Amino acid sequence: MYPKRTSLSVLNAIERRVSAWKRPGPVFARDDSAGTDNTPSEAISILIVEDDYLVAIQMETALVEAGLESAGIATTAEEAIELAASQHPALAVIDIRLASARDGIDAAIVLLREHGIRSIFATAHHDVHTQSRAAPASPLGWLQKPYSMESLVRVVRKALKGLADRTQ
């Protein structure tokens, strides 16, 4: 009588296959067209680690519309580590509670230690204990759920600017 429910990992695999077909092209901002060279700079990719499929798709859409590139969506810490190794994102936006034994804090620590990838935590869990447990991941920010997609883009841009300022 009711339709069969599909697991998040199956939906995630389908999304990866579909997104490979329709990867967004380069996005030109108004100031990109001012010079003589109209080629866009290399897109900055962001890894999304979120086990709520609809929220993850919303996040990905908002970031792509803001001119960033998605390095993919991971629903578990293990998927996040695998995607980071293959896609080399500039930054990860991570929910702390994930659909696996390991949580987002574990993933963020491994991403920093093994790949040098910094994180922003987008979560409802931001108490003092959680923040102290996440300190070894050196998060670039905390985004408290529920949040708007505009605030997500704003926090990601601020974090990317902070990373760029440190490398200069």
Which pLDDT tens digits describe the chain residue by residue (168 residues)? Answer: 555 555 556 556 656 655 554 455 554 444 443 444 443 456 799 999 999 999 999 999 999 999 999 999 999 999 999 999 999 999 999 999 998 899 999 999 999 999 999 999 998 887 899 999 999 999 999 999 999 999 999 999 999 998 888 776
Q: Is residue 167 part of a domain?
A: no
d(Cα 81, Cα 58) in Å, to the nearest integer? Answer: 21
Q: Could you identify the residue written with the tokens 């697991």?
A: 7
d(Cα 66, Cα 73) in Å, to the nearest integer? Answer: 17
Give how many domains the chain has, as a whole number.
1
Q: What are the tens digits of pLDDT across the range 100-130?
A: 899 999 999 999 999 999 999 998 887 899 9
Q: Is residue 147 part of a domain?
A: yes
Q: Is residue 114 part of a domain?
A: yes
Query: Which pLDDT value is given to residue 38?
Result: 41
The residue segments making up the domain with residue 94 are 8-21+43-160
Q: Is residue 38 part of a domain?
A: no
Q: Is residue 154 part of a domain?
A: yes
Query: Which pLDDT value is given to residue 58?
Result: 97
Q: Name the nearest CA neighbour of 23 among 54, 64, 59.
A: 64
CATH code of the domain containing 82: 3.40.50.2300
d(Cα 60, Cα 86) in Å, to the nearest integer? Answer: 18
